[in-house]
């Protein structure tokens, strides 16, 4: 079956522009997570969705960052007025319901975002 799909795989944009990153989780996975991987900060949690609601958005670094999920499936992470420090790989992961604690999060290949 298909894994977690993220698009675009690479994005280069100018400082100050808005960007949208997309995540298509594994079919049937109700939990969806966004993480950011950067050289200076390592892997950081951003936000978690259960269905269409976000019980934990504690990792969003500023109000320039927002995310939504529609239909319990696709999620979009939006960064407004991008800054150079937003340059990172943005990883999405999903997890199925009711599988117990041993079930890991399954990751996509990420979107590499570069802010010029």
Partner 1 sequence: AQKITQTQPGMFVQEKEAVTLDCTYDTSDPSYGLFWYKQPSSGEMIFLIYQGSYDQQNATEGRYSLNFQKARKSANLVISASQLGDSAMYFCAMRDDAGGTSYGKLTFGQGTILTVHP
What secondary structure, in 3-state letters, does the chain show? Answer: CCCCEEECCEEEECCCCCEEEEEECCCCCCEEEEEEEECCCEEEEEEEEECCEEEECCCCCCCCEEEEECCCCCEEEEECCCCHHHCEEEEEEEECCCCCCCCCCEECCCEEEEEC
* Closer to partner 1 by Cβ: residue 16 or 28: 28
Contacts with partner 1 by CB under 8 A: the residue count is 27
Among 1, 2, 14, 42, binds partner 1 (CB under 8 A): 42
Q: Does 109 bind partner 1 (CB under 8 A)?
A: yes
Task: Write out the residues near partner 1 by the rule CB under 8 A.
Answer: 31, 33, 35, 42-45, 48, 50, 56, 59, 89, 91, 93, 95, 100-110, 112
């Amino acid at each position: 079956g298909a894994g977690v799909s993220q698009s675009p795989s690479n994005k280069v944009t100018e400082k100050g522009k808005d960007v949208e990153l997309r995540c298509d989780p594994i079919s049937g996975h109700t939990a969806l997570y966004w993480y950011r991987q950067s050289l200076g900060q390592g892997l950081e949690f951003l936000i978690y969705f259960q269905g269409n609601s976000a019980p934990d958005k504690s990792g969003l670094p500023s109000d320039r960052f927002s995310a939504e999920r529609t239909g319990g499936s696709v999620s979009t992470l939006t960064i407004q007025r991008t800054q150079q420090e937003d340059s990172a790989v943005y990883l999405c992961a999903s997890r199925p319901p009711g599988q117990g604690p041993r079930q890991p999060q399954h990751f996509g290949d990420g979107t590499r975002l570069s802010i010029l």
